[in-house]
Structure 1
């Protein structure tokens, strides 16, 4: 079966950095951009150049540093935005200007206070101006998730005629259900003239916890680029998590879609972004959370010890984690205790293990987690002898 390559557009340094308290300076952005290129992302959205002199300089520096990935600068459908983005991207080997405008009734009526026809005019003008500076122009239809499909198709067709190479279909408010978002992408492929000449892109927010599911639904229905962030950082409830969409495709080869991401660097990249943004990763976060490969239930521990795939669908080494973790708590069984005791040099027969387990349970009821130091003391105090 042939596998379609899904490009990964990382917007950690732009959309991700919009999280309150997560501002990055230029040096930090350069370090993360270098790691993203090592990770294998196809596009790095380096920032919003018009927003501040600091962001302009950061985009300019990342453009000069990056060797393989496309470097993208965001702009509104405003002439000065586009010109400033073009200036910031002058040193890029593969520059892209990302420009666009709101297309939903809500945006047109309340934010832009204009008409559908005027939105199309502004979209065409923005794409044409961006195209005069760079060959690669991405157009975003903001709030496409809540935009009428027929009007959205008209906007997309106009953007293609104006020279767009990528069409971004954002679920800006995280409103869509996966079935609806997938159907929207499918509708555009079937109804937009010239769509075969461009790449459709997903950009999903996580307000209802559906960003990853919506992005995958988009890719299944023909989108060839997914916009995402490390750890899912981003506005409000965040963006699509890069590590999640990448591993979903990797674990479901029957979908016929995959990326060029070096998954063994996912854990290290997650830790780097978390540290630099001062944004802790929740322990139960999929793929990169500290508990993602940890087991404390006795039933689960016994299964994993006997055969890892009983309770783990991903080999932790595939995402850069050295091994699964057997965490000893009051819910742990004899198998887990024996396993951890062997790891620190003790090998007990059944009688000694039963005695150790009785002492262990008393200790575990007093502590949230029993660590190796506790086990050494337990063995000493119980006067147990290893076989």
Structure 2
């Protein structure tokens, strides 16, 4: 099995479904070009049938990027597929992403249908799309809650119909990691033609498990992961691109790799945050402003002695300029001494002890002590 994990970025489609985060076509092109520089393999550019704006965005992104495959979403409906194919005409590499619900909840309550009819519609959609383009991905929506035997039958049928990629999404973020990993493993053991397609995973974060579920899917054989920058997306969001990529990079023992230039993660995160007006929470893994900040005295002392005591990755590897020591009332003498020396002040131990006592009084009042405060303190 290939050790390459393909990164399918859906920031401009699923990520843009966040209320208030909509982008113009021109803004989407800017983001798409940055995703290309980042090294993503597939950019899901939009849902062409949904609006003239989305159709135009897919067209313009198709013209603007060269290396990534451009993907357009559709339902398992001929009109949707036609619109997707038309929007992708300028793409150097194009893909139609079509599909239908696979759980009994969706089959009954969303489509008022049956398993057999859904399977038939899915197969027909894939066959129709393959007449228009040579790369078709099928999504089995709500696969996280789907019956395993039916999901295997559906997967086998759409691969036989010509699907090059099959997406097994945990659409509602329902699964626990061991459940989701077992679901992917089941498919590899029970779909006889599974080697004819790439298995993709698309996890939502409703229970805060999107990254864990994605890693469980990857370690059980999936080789495409669908993600967004900063984990933005519908409801609680999608799997975070930066979290999955860095988890695979840190855990070299997995023997898996991506084509991502990780030094561009922080700049791209900032760009998407600003353009979509969606602040990144301070404690967000990898790209949050506190991801490489240390404020506890014990942590600061350990970090200053050897960074790996408290950092499992180098901030430069993700494009963060440097780690930071944040001075608060929890900070110890070692951190204060370090910061004073960076400002050009060196003191013997008795003098430093006196400054440290005054520092604690100041920190209790001001909560966080910056360089200007320290200059006032030493004067």
TM-score per shorter chain, which class?
A: over 0.9
* Residue matched to 1:66: 65
* Residue matched to 1:385: none
Q: Indicate conservation of the 8 Å contact 1:32/1:273, yes or no.
A: yes
Distance in 2, matches of 1:155 and 1:302, equals 56
TM-score scaled by length of structure 1? 0.97
* Residue matched to 1:197: 196
Deviating above 2 A after TM superposition, structure 1's stretches of 4 or more consecutive aligned residues are: none
Question: Which aligned pairs between 1:293-304 and structure 2 lie closer than 5 A?
Answer: 293-304=292-303
Asked whether 1:94 is paired with 2:93, we answer yes
> 1:263/1:77 Cα in 2 relative to 1: closer, same or farther (>3 Å)?
same
Question: Which aligned pairs between 1:33-48 and structure 2 lie closer than 5 A?
Answer: 33-48=32-47
> 1:104/1:39 Cα in 2 relative to 1: closer, same or farther (>3 Å)?
same
Asked whether 1:31 is paired with 2:30, we answer yes
* Residue matched to 1:128: 127
* Residue matched to 2:55: 56
Q: Secondary structure at the match of 1:257?
A: coil
CA deviation vs aligned residue, 1:111-153 (integer Å, no higher than 9, x gap): 0001111101100111011111110100000000000110001
Distance in 1, matches of 2:348 and 2:51, equals 68
Asked whether 1:314 is paired with 2:322, we answer no
Distance in 2, matches of 1:134 and 1:368, equals 59
Q: Secondary structure at the match of 1:164?
A: coil
* Residue matched to 2:377: 378
CA deviation vs aligned residue, 1:157-209 (integer Å, no higher than 9, x gap): 11011100000000000001111111111111111121101000000000001
Distance in 1, matches of 2:378 and 2:2, equals 54
| Offset at residue 3 of structure 1 (A) | 7.2
Distance in 1, matches of 2:207 and 2:240, equals 14
Gaps in structure 1 of 5+ consecutive residues: 381-387
Q: Indicate conservation of the 8 Å contact 1:3/1:256, yes or no.
A: no
Question: Which aligned pairs between 1:1-387 and structure 2 lie closer than 5 A?
Answer: 4-380=3-379
| Offset at residue 345 of structure 1 (A) | 1.2
What is the CA RMSD across the aligned residues, in angstroms? 0.9
Gaps in structure 2 of 5+ consecutive residues: none
* Residue matched to 1:384: none
Q: Indicate conservation of the 8 Å contact 1:3/1:258, yes or no.
A: no
Distance in 2, matches of 1:26 and 1:366, equals 48
Aligned length: 379
